[in-house]
Amino acid sequence: MADTLSINFDELKSYTFEPKQQLELDELLRQCHTYFEKTDDDLIYRAFALSYLSHKNGTRASGEPYYLHPLEVAHIVIKEMSLDDVSVAAALLHDTVEDTSISLDEIRQEFGDVVAHLIDGMTKISGVLKSRESKQAETFMKLLMSMAEDLRVVLIKFSDRLHNMRTLKHLPKAKQIKIATETSELYAPLAHRFGLFRLKSELEDLSFRAIDSQGYRFISRKLREKKDAREKFIEEFMQPIRDQLYKSGFNFEIKGRPKSIYSIYRKMVTQQKPFEDIYDLFAIRIILDEPHAREDCWRVYSYITDTYTPIPERFRDFLSVPKANGYQSLHTTVFSRTGVKVEIQIRTRQMDEIAEKGLAAHWKYKEGSDGNKSIDRFVHWVRDVLDNPRPDAASEFVQDFTLNLFQDEIYIFTPKGQLMTLPKGATPIDFAFEVHSEVGERALAAKVNGKMVPLRQKLQSGDQVEIITGKNSNLNPDWINDVVTHKAKSRIRQFINMKERKGIEEGREIWQKKAGKLNLEISDQDLVKVANKLKYHSMNKLYYDISLGAFDVNNLTKGVKDFLSKGRIEEEKSRLERISDEEMHDQYYDSARTAGSMRGLLVNGDLTDVKYSYSKCCNPIPGDDVIGFLSRNGDVKIHRTNCNNIGYLIKNDSERVVEIGWPKAITAQFIGAVRIIGEDRVGLVNDITNLISQSLKTNMKGINVNSEEGMFEGTLIIYVEDIAHLERVIKRILKVPGVKQAYRFE
Looking at the fold, whether 562 and 630 belong to one and the same domain comes out as: no
User: Of 577, 611, 630, which residue constitutes the final position of a domain?
Assistant: 577
> Could you read off the pLDDT of 498-547 as tens digits, one per residue?
888 888 898 889 988 888 888 888 877 788 888 888 888 788 888 888 88
Looking at the fold, whether 242 and 336 belong to one and the same domain comes out as: yes
Looking at the fold, whether 633 and 685 belong to one and the same domain comes out as: no
Task: Give the total number of structural domains in the chain.
Answer: 6
* Structural domain includes residue 500: yes
> Could you read off the pLDDT of 152-209 as tens digits, one per residue?
888 898 999 999 999 998 888 778 888 888 888 888 888 887 778 889 999 999 999 9
* Structural domain includes residue 368: no
- Answer for the pair 352, 198: CB distance below 8 angstroms, yes or no: no
User: Of 600, 633, 661, which residue constitutes the final position of a domain?
Assistant: 661
> Could you read off the pLDDT of 677-716 as tens digits, one per residue?
888 778 888 888 888 888 788 888 777 777 776 777 888 8
Range with the lowest mean pLDDT among 435-444, 602-611, 653-662? Answer: 602-611
Check whether 591 has a pLDDT greater than 50. Answer: no
Looking at the fold, whether 351 and 232 belong to one and the same domain comes out as: yes
Looking at the fold, whether 230 and 330 belong to one and the same domain comes out as: yes
Looking at the fold, whether 522 and 460 belong to one and the same domain comes out as: no
Active-site residue, selected from the candidate residues 99, 280, 609, 635: 99
CATH of the domain at 55: 1.10.3210.10
538: domain range? 494-577
Mean pLDDT of the chain: 80
Dist CA 157 CA 647 (whole Å) = 23
pLDDT of residue 384: 63
* Structural domain includes residue 419: yes
Residue burial 62-79, b: 16+ Cβ < 10 Å; e: rest = eeebbbbbbbbbbbbbbe
Looking at the fold, whether 475 and 342 belong to one and the same domain comes out as: no
Of residues 652 and 588, more confidently modeled = 652
Active-site residue, selected from the candidate residues 98, 113, 505, 570: 98
Looking at the fold, whether 389 and 352 belong to one and the same domain comes out as: no
Average pLDDT of the segment spanning 347-368? 74
CATH of the domain at 472: 3.10.20.30
Looking at the fold, whether 307 and 175 belong to one and the same domain comes out as: no
709 phi and psi angles, rounded to 5 deg: 55, 45
User: Of 545, 577, 609, which residue constitutes the final position of a domain?
Assistant: 577
pLDDT of residue 593: 30
77 band by pLDDT with thresholds 50, 70 and 90:
very high
What size, in residues, is the chain? Answer: 746
- Judging by beta carbons within 10 Å of its beta carbon (0-12, 13-18, 19+), is residue 234 exposed, middle or buried? middle
Check whether 557 has a pLDDT greater than 50. Answer: yes
Average pLDDT of the segment spanning 95-116? 89
* Other CB atoms within 10 A of residue 608 CB: 17
**Paired strand residues for 512:** none
Of residues 182 and 109, more confidently modeled = 109
CATH of the domain at 708: 3.30.70.260
Of residues 595 and 273, more confidently modeled = 273
29 band by pLDDT with thresholds 50, 70 and 90:
very high
Check whether 14 has a pLDDT greater than 90. Answer: no
* Structural domain includes residue 279: yes
Check whether 131 has a pLDDT greater than 70. Answer: no
**Paired strand residues for 287:** 253, 347
3 state SS of 445: strand
* Structural domain includes residue 371: no
> Could you read off the pLDDT of 289-324 as tens digits, one per residue?
866 677 889 989 999 999 999 988 889 888 887 877
> Could you read off the pLDDT of 681-690 as tens digits, one per residue?
788 888 888 8
pLDDT of residue 382: 63
pLDDT above 70 as % of the chain = 81
* Structural domain includes residue 227: yes
98 is catalytic: yes
CATH of the domain at 319: 3.30.460.10
Residue burial 526-546, b: 16+ Cβ < 10 Å; e: rest = bbebbbeeeebeebbebbbbb
* Structural domain includes residue 232: yes
> Could you read off the pLDDT of 424-444 as tens digits, one per residue?
889 999 999 988 888 988 999
3 state SS of 298: helix
Looking at the fold, whether 557 and 524 belong to one and the same domain comes out as: yes
* Structural domain includes residue 172: yes
Looking at the fold, whether 193 and 322 belong to one and the same domain comes out as: no
Give the single-character DSSP code of 124. Answer: P
pLDDT of residue 689: 84
Looking at the fold, whether 225 and 288 belong to one and the same domain comes out as: yes
